Structure 1
């Protein structure tokens, strides 16, 4: 597939294969709860085991993100559309993450991404194959992330992801990997945004606040559009005839680039309550399982005694 960087993100485990290489980036997928509220952590030195098994409150989700955050790492919200692990309302308050896995072979999570961007967050797109079966290969080479770096090194790649110097790609079924269309340039002059692609796209759609379509273009390689303050942000989706799509990172309209967003406070009492309930449910389940096993053993012995008595 000719990847410049590829990471193997096992569940709750960091694969150290190739760790001696300059462009090696540690990766693991965090989360073992029933709603698949998962996160991908890049550049971490250790695995974080804290999680909440049952459907998570906004405070639970924030607590997990707080524990995942490290100075040099990148935290990505994984497949939020899958089982609604993250819902649109979460993004009004959540913080402590850098990117969102918008592109996944199972789900495309543009609704959550737009909800997040509309809440004023600077969150950037990531695409990956989320491949669980390397033998079938039906999901191999379907999604990827293009990163603009001057040198293929861990620090530069992580910084590019954090700053949005990248974009996501859905690779069409008949797309030759040697000729994937790419972004040649994106420039900003006051409020005029100019996008130039390597090949004309069948359609270029500009999306803004609350996922509203601002403008669309057909069969063009270079487009200009105006971003005004009513839209707050704009992002482009470029579609090709063979199914290949480029999801460009957003451009933001802001008068205060250092705006500090509100964070979710940790609700200590609620956290203690849910942990206590979880422990009670776990021990109740173990108790019931023990009773069932005991009953089965007793019943089996009773049947054997009757059989031999006869």
Structure 2
């Protein structure tokens, strides 16, 4: 009896080891196209001018959520509601843009229901939740590195998505260990950072990127997988646009003419009216809200709160020589408004992260690829040896 149990245990253990080695072997194939990059220098914003993304604000705003999951892929992924349920519930709450962003699948459900339909999906099937939102995408990319990712692997995915002419939002950087602070200092060529998400608030990661001269603008989303049992309809974006035109709205989102709301109960206490550079002093900006703000926070380099004002509907801030950027958070009882940063620049070229490009390192790239081939040979040898054992 003991021999039978030992034989069964040995067979199961052997099968498990072989299965793990086979998974590693096939995963290694995905790493053969790795590119090792040299990243642009990380340095704080500088210059004698202040770029204000809220200059000449349009009058209209459009309410949008770009991250929600429905039932998809035969219910294999995490989604508990139909596309119809999700669309109807957001539509009933007067959302203008209702994004259904399933994993590697573009929902066409709302295409004929609204003039503000946006094709999108969530990219990523790696174990550490290093995901992206591919916004305004008509094609799905399946390139990913499932078991581990260096900064260069993350950059390769960004480069692949960018080649498809999509707006790239880094999804929930704090969630699941998918990004490190070092990644935030390095990664370039993406457009938005999902700072607000019901799983995690990633403002410290955003500040790490901003403090390193990586200018991306904010996006905030529910990231709901179950509209009835998860925090939903509480995080959204207000995007300025003169016209009800999806290209105009997305362009303004990409260029910072928006802000994100994190509410407790779906109610927003306030609204941004204006943010303007002082005509007499280009280092001073004034911000105004529709209603009184309980607390205004002016946040700068390394996420340091540089100034607070309480119980006011407006506030001013003067850039000091040490200030590289300033972003504002407006806090009220039911909701917080997260605004995009004003940053120093040379007065000519806005230092957008999406304009920064990495360069490939030929020798390290091929060293890594040959190492993967060597690993695959070793795995093949181990699999064969264990089978014969």
Q: Shorter-chain TM-score category?
A: 0.7 to 0.9
Deviations 1:57-91 (A, max 9, x none): 01101100000014752100000001221111113
Equivalent residue, structure 2, for 1:251: 342
Deviation at residue 18 of structure 1 after TM alignment: 2.1
Equivalent residue, structure 1, for 2:316: 224
Normalising by the residue count of structure 2, what TM-score does the alignment of the two structures yield?
0.68
Deviations 1:191-230 (A, max 9, x none): 1111111111111110011111111111111001112342
1:268 maps onto 2:365 in alignment:
yes
Equivalent residue, structure 1, for 2:285: 193
Equivalent residue, structure 1, for 2:75: none
The 3-state SS of whatever aligns with 2:287 is strand
Task: With a CA cutoff of 8 Å and minimum separation of 6, indicate the structure with the bigger relative contact order.
Answer: 2
Aligned match for 1:149, one of 228, 241, 248: 241
> Does the C-alpha gap of structure 1 residues 226 and 48 become closer, same or farther in structure 2, counting only changes over 3 Å?
same
- Measure the CA separation in 2 of the matches of 1:15 and 1:22: 15
The 3-state SS of whatever aligns with 2:109 is coil
- Measure the CA separation in 2 of the matches of 1:26 and 1:85: 24
State how 1:54-93 maps to structure 2 within 5 Å. Answer: 54-70=147-163, 72-93=165-186
Deviation at residue 102 of structure 1 after TM alignment: 0.3
Gaps of 5+ in 1: 296-310
State how 1:1-310 maps to structure 2 within 5 Å. Answer: 1-20=93-112, 21-70=114-163, 72-136=165-229, 138-173=230-265, 175-176=266-267, 180-189=269-278, 190-242=282-334, 244-255=335-346, 257-258=348-349, 261=356, 263=358, 265=360, 267-269=364-366, 271-272=368-369, 276=373
- Measure the CA separation in 1 of the matches of 2:317 and 2:211: 19
> Does the C-alpha gap of structure 1 residues 44 and 229 become closer, same or farther in structure 2, counting only changes over 3 Å?
farther
> Does the C-alpha gap of structure 1 residues 51 and 73 become closer, same or farther in structure 2, counting only changes over 3 Å?
same
Of stretches 139-148 and 69-78 in structure 1, the one that deviates more from structure 2 is: 69-78
Gaps of 5+ in 2: 1-92
| Structure 1 runs (4+) greater than 4 angstroms displaced | 259-262, 273-285
Deviation at residue 56 of structure 1 after TM alignment: 0.7
> Does the C-alpha gap of structure 1 residues 66 and 72 become closer, same or farther in structure 2, counting only changes over 3 Å?
closer
Tell whether the 8 Å contact from 1:60 to 1:271 is kept in structure 2 after alignment.
no
Of stretches 162-171 and 126-135 in structure 1, the one that deviates more from structure 2 is: 126-135
Tell whether the 8 Å contact from 2:300 to 2:326 is kept in structure 1 after alignment.
yes
Tell whether the 8 Å contact from 2:269 to 2:332 is kept in structure 1 after alignment.
no
Please provide the CA RMSD for this pair.
2.5
Q: Alignment length, in residue pairs?
A: 286
Deviation at residue 256 of structure 1 after TM alignment: 5.1
The 3-state SS of whatever aligns with 1:18 is helix
Tell whether the 8 Å contact from 1:62 to 1:264 is kept in structure 2 after alignment.
no
- Measure the CA separation in 2 of the matches of 1:255 and 1:159: 23
- Measure the CA separation in 1 of the matches of 2:343 and 2:244: 27
> Does the C-alpha gap of structure 1 residues 122 and 277 become closer, same or farther in structure 2, counting only changes over 3 Å?
farther
The 3-state SS of whatever aligns with 1:253 is strand
Deviation at residue 281 of structure 1 after TM alignment: 9.2
Tell whether the 8 Å contact from 2:170 to 2:193 is kept in structure 1 after alignment.
yes
Deviations 1:109-145 (A, max 9, x none): 0111001111112201111001111332x32112111
